[in-house]
Structure 1
């Protein structure tokens, strides 16, 4: 049985919801952990819950399959995918390299308008993260800050690849925020990145960005490992 809360997502629409809204609701539920790895996703149950036919449900699941969040298993149907520890490490290393590249390109060509937009995103993160009631909201603000930097790179295909990796990894990497004091450490790391942006120091922003991502990934893997070892 699927959790009923997933059917209340999608901008408050419970009936007549289109495939894009179904994919949005399921993506949110997967990324937030409401739908865990290996959770079956029966198309008939989803169609009944969202008040649609099977067709938009199938389209939504195909979209999520392309994003690496869902897999179609022989004789079992659609299921939420999971990642091994090695998967998380490998994807994180790729993501760190791509974001390092994006940061370097961004700062090298950053205008005053770009910097003002980054400042706004940073201020929104500082203010919003302090008031955020959950990791999901804090994660959104974090992503907005980093994306504000990368936007200045004007490399749309690079940003698409980064976004794809973020979607795949987000439900695992946010685990590092469970460590006491980790949020404060993250705030310090963001402040250092912001200061380097103000100095237009492309190499320092790139270095700090890669270090920031790899450290969060390493801590998250340790949290996940400890969680699995606990009865």
Structure 2
């Protein structure tokens, strides 16, 4: 009688079966977190030295949810350094110090300049045309200096778009929290010392470099533009943070 055939054991184990899980529906906690974070972004927390407060009960009523998901969302935002719960006082929205804001802007400059470099390769012609269209409405009859709100909004969208058209999801995730503070400072400083005129020139220069598909120039101009904001905040911090 022949002995049964014994096959040699594999030298390496078979790879695990990779199956992606179905994306679950957003929980109330996540929905409240997203809504509250957006609300904080719109609060313009650097326009006044007075602290901004969030009322848990009012938030619960406005969102139509119980206080539990509100508290869970607040806890998430507290871990990220956006708010602080103070017993018997409420939830305070936290402002960064001058030094912290300068460092955040410097980090943004590094990330966005890389995004500009990637956008040279990854962005479509239509996406680049979209950048130019953001500023087409500004001319002698609709001067940016006379329409600060409109220009400030276009300015923020411009920087968000550079990140998006880079094609890097990770850059988007890394800049998400930075933008909440950087956008507030941009909005606050854009109308000072003719920064708005230089801002428009910088933006058009970056767009032209992208359209020429020049990665070195796009990266450099983007970095220098944002570092200019960091230098301004470093030099004029007392006016902004006091």
Bin for the TM-score computed over the shorter chain: 0.7 to 0.9
Structure 2: which 5+ residue stretches go unaligned? Answer: 1-30
Cα distance in 1, alignment partners of residues 123 and 221 from structure 2:
17
Structure 1: which 5+ residue stretches go unaligned? Answer: 1-17
> What is the Cα deviation at residue 181 of structure 1?
1.4
Aligned residue runs from structure 1 range 49-128, under 5 A: 53-62=66-75, 64-65=77-78, 68-73=81-86, 77-123=90-136
Cα distance in 2, alignment partners of residues 86 and 55 from structure 1:
35
- Residue 27 (structure 1) aligns with: 41
Residues 177-218 of structure 1, C-alpha deviations (whole Å, 9 max, x = no match) = 242311111111111111112211111111111111111122
Change in Cα spacing, 1:124 to 1:105, as seen in structure 2 (3 Å) is farther
> What is the Cα deviation at residue 47 of structure 1?
4.0
- Residue 239 (structure 2) aligns with: 226
Cα distance in 2, alignment partners of residues 55 and 77 from structure 1:
15
Residues 150-191 of structure 1, C-alpha deviations (whole Å, 9 max, x = no match) = 333210111221232111322233332242311111111111
CA contact (8 A) 1:106 1:153 kept: yes
Larger-gyration structure (1/2): 2
SS of alignment partner, residue 43 of structure 2: helix
Change in Cα spacing, 1:134 to 1:113, as seen in structure 2 (3 Å) is closer
Cα distance in 2, alignment partners of residues 23 and 157 from structure 1:
19
Change in Cα spacing, 1:116 to 1:169, as seen in structure 2 (3 Å) is closer
Cα distance in 1, alignment partners of residues 101 and 109 from structure 2:
12
Q: Which has the higher helix share?
A: 1
Change in Cα spacing, 1:156 to 1:187, as seen in structure 2 (3 Å) is same
Change in Cα spacing, 1:217 to 1:140, as seen in structure 2 (3 Å) is same
SS of alignment partner, residue 79 of structure 1: strand
CA contact (8 A) 2:145 2:196 kept: no
With structure 1 as the length reference, what TM-score do the two structures score?
0.73
> What is the Cα deviation at residue 73 of structure 1?
4.3
Larger mean CA deviation between 141-150 and 46-55 belongs to: 46-55
Tell me how large the CA RMSD over aligned residues is: 3.3
- Residue 222 (structure 2) aligns with: 209
Q: How many residues align?
A: 210
CA contact (8 A) 1:104 1:203 kept: yes
- Residue 6 (structure 2) aligns with: none
More RCO (CA 8 Å, sep 6+): 2
